[in-house]
Structure 1
């Protein structure tokens, strides 16, 4: 019989098993009592009906009836109805309730002698006191007879006298040994299955989310699904039912109205206000909106808590927090309220909750946005205040609130300028520059007050700086404006003599102005090679709170500090500084600063030689110039020149790119394609100095390239500058290592190069020094073992840094020295297709697909053209292609 319940009733297996066991025992002559309880719509009536239907299969005679509000005034009426008669037909003129009760008992006993009896009574909470007493008495009297009582009552009826008595009856019967079954909510799987049966298709994700809001109540689920079907509000696509509207169906609304009809008018009023407040609310707020006290609504709240509609009843006495157990029920109640009344309640709730503090601010704004109408000055002002409070901590929310508030205003309203300033500032903080610019232009045309004009122009100037028009922006700002205006003006002058002069006179100031000034001076010191002073100024500026710098178009000084610490090999310090500023930026919700955090994380990983981590972080901010620089350098390390070229091109085009970083990337890219002399042309006539030589590998690389080009003058100049930097920054290990590296190369001093290998804290720079040392030892005809040892050091360090291109070059040198290092690992591969290629074969295929000849591929991979030819033959066989053109086409299909 369990199959009668269908898949959606799997959650009732335990209950059905208990009823089946009771019927089996009854058919064997053993009676008893089974009690069923649950909230309205939980499936009590269906379970009872199925038990009646199953009785015949067990040789049991079943009879049933239901009590209701009317029968409670007629003693014993439901029991008489169950036995197939009426009280009026059974009663005699001289009967008392006790005599009628005895006659009913005798009727049951007579029937039980003929066949086992199942007596089913539903909604016992409406039964009259005489019937409740009779049920308790009959159950005990007929304990040894083949009579089973199946009694059901509804939750939430304990407030009334009959309901309370019915609850006590169930408790006493349970104490006497009755089986007590409570019908809880259906599981998510069973709920979806029930809806799927009604809809003739399993619900898709959109419907499943709404089904979950029914709280596992079968009646609500059926009303929801049948309503969708009746209104043709679902379509079956790809085997799943999907919604075509977000509106709740009328059948569901009617089901909720029917459920509400069981409550008093006072209780319904409390529920309606509570539904408007939301899924979770405070009893005190409901009371205040109704103009009552929490004590005044306590009885109504207790009634719905007992019914299972609300949870958290222990907090009622103190006006505490309550929740609708079922979100769908709460939403449907809201739909039963006339739209105009609902709008007014939302407005009233919003104004009320704004006074509850920050915790209620979000809910207050939601209510005001739902309840305010155009021209509602009080609501607009409340929204303006809410937006202004969160512009520095939740700018996305502030932008939305201000936008909604502006939609409630008309041109010329006094609230418009302030709202425009708030929204523009929020849009700046979340990186939506075009929208902010358009809003500012539209607002300035309306001739707002001078204070609003100044604020809007400051925001516009920040946007201009961020989009590459900084100097022009500075001329439009008041030098004596507020702190943010002066900070933005100073940032706009960054990199100019006027900016440095202004920074020198402003560095002692507090707040944003002083922080920006100290950072500009820190940049000057860094460019001059004065590392310690630069770091001191950056540390001082880094302490400035994020909100104070939120509108200033510069990277936060803490991000600059973290990057420079990593460049100097102080990785742990850099990570600590970054973690602190990342947390502060996260709390502020500042999108451009969040992107800058990602870029700084990527750069730290790059400095530390963790290329995969660098790529992961950079891809989260690939629209920012710094991210393209990181991706470009990683591509160079891996020998992916096409990708490197593209990233460097994008870096040059994006606002905010750094000239020194651009020069370094362009030099690296050119060196992979051009002769050394042609590479050095990119330097122009200026001799390299800081900040380029602050890059840990720059000095050694420049000297090596200059010597290869025969430019000893340039090489000597770099050696002298690197030595001067080290002297001027005593105790700075990276600069000392770079100076030793440059001097060792230039003068052919193996000792200096060994010093560089030992002192370099950056993997790629250390590997480069070890490779140079191996070359010098080979030129001096030192023992092969010494050469190989240094090459092995370079190989291992390049490998750990992920520098694939450099690894290939060192392997070539080891092969020339007669040493072959195992560089492959066994892996299960398919016998054909792209996945069958080894790492080396894939590298060859990639380069050939880029259009390189065998000789060019060989030069890139530091192998012979014959080896490339052999690899290409195997690649063709595995991929089933016959030409380089087919290989290229297949490669792009795979991509």
Structure 2
């Protein structure tokens, strides 16, 4: 038992016990250097009786190549790769350099999960110094750690704290075990056990005070000062600097042994062959190995006695010693099999600018990026820029490095790199705009940077300037400031004589803001209908919102379908979630709430796997139409300020369904008043319905006039039908209801059609035409309850009761008893998917899918997959 760590040991052994029972998990040990993380890792590995133990560790002093740590961990089981499905097998082979291509890091994560769980017996993964894992490995390992709850797998990470900003944010979401200092009694016991000699009480108390309960400090102090020094109380290292103890030990090591230690510290791969070849180049003799053995183990793999020992060795070495070590390692590394490691060692050996080495690093960055190692590419480019003498080439490399850092979430490093460049360079503004947008911080709006770049480019590159204005508009739609951005875009350079689609869209949006939808519709309508146009490939979200503005459901659905399909085909976990969210919204309008839940579940699975924030707007829309007030209130309260208008519109939909028209009118008023692209138009019919029910006829008439202008300019069935039943509401016009229903009958807009029948049935019932009202209300109730729009369905049922007829009772939809993820799994299984196929789709392990299926069977009273297939619909 480790002194003073009984609770921590119990927690780790509990993790092992749970993994033995098939309830795997992960734990992150966190604490300052020397606090006992490595000792606990050794203990849990020793306690893992019957487990296969696999190890990996990060290294501070080399920018690890992509997936290097993952390869280190998986090396013992790589023989099982052939048993994986072909896409997963190839993803790992590409990641480990056994094949060429560009692996997606999360497909690698799924493949790693399969590799680890499809084996006999329990497994323990031990990852030390995890704060220095390469980014690609970190993503894959954390992905696995989040998905072993139904497996016989335990994962223990050790993280040194504090670490620099932006270092390995992925680990933040895993269960943590912070390690504090030892208590006074335990610290005293550990110190006395290490000294085993009489010690003056005053000296002992001083040592305990200096060590502050840090176990490694208590063990290293006697080794550093010796009994004589400790007896006098002299020569103790400064408080809180545990590495100082190792540094003091290094002062007693002969120069040859210190050079050998520096070589070992500079090459964290730990390959003895490379080490001894490099040592031979530097003239280090065999005697040096014996003199260095107190700090490092020279076996089949080179291992330091403690991670802090390696850190102390490297930091203590002079700059010249480190350069000599890296130069020797570069000379003995294989330039064909391992060109990137050669480039990295050569870069570390350079004392000043060296274009040849910088060019090698740039090539390494390209190779790393092709293998999914964006973080490694960023590090190569950053170092390449430092070694570049040519000013223009250096700027390009710094910009490339900043963009790569931005891509992997190292926002502070990206900002620091950009701060070294000329602030008047428009390329810097473009990256700063992206950085501001992804950070979601207050202060300057991200679109402002793009507008500044656009103005600077206007004279020298008009085409690029116009593209920047359009990008600024898209950001303005989602991050705020849309009106100001549109006003600024009026100053864009004139379009060329043969305008591109981007030029047409920019001019159309400026026309929309200055002259209104009637003038802009003829410009925008044709390009929006071409959902595969290049302008939408780059800016799909903007195209989606323009389609909403024009009430063009075919364009909206077509754009969403294309983006989702393209994202899935490319394996892009940037594009696919956007496409799924767009398609879920379109599917809700079509009345298939079950399919929408399936898409939302997949989008959220990707977000959870990648650590990104889920795109919440389709869930907001879905929840509003389902009509569950408490569920909606919880969801709406948790969204950020950038979603305020979406929440106001959804609140109007929700409360119109619940017949709380006063609340619906206030929410719709706020959504309409802001005038945002797309959302303001969608809120108008909600405002009209609520205002009519509240007796605010003039308010409804004004909103109807605005809605008529918007929908007739678009000229599409969706808008024309909504305008027709809204007009009927305001003017008591029966023909408007009939027109809306006639327009919607052949369309896929089932919920819109259901609401038209509901409003018409309510109007007929109020006129005393009960028989006609029943027919409309029955249709409305059937469509609404079939879709799962519970509040609107209950409103229809109430109206039916008022006519003297009770709505036909329907069994509660399965989705009412299942989570969104369970609905998705149930639908996939009902379509015939196996557990492995579902697991790959949702980034889970097959055993986790089976655990969800057991919950689904229990909730629905089923006993087999075949019964799932027999359900009329899981929605």
What's the TM-score bracket when you normalise by the shorter of the two chains?
0.3 to 0.5
TM-score by length of 1: 0.46
Larger radius of gyration: 1
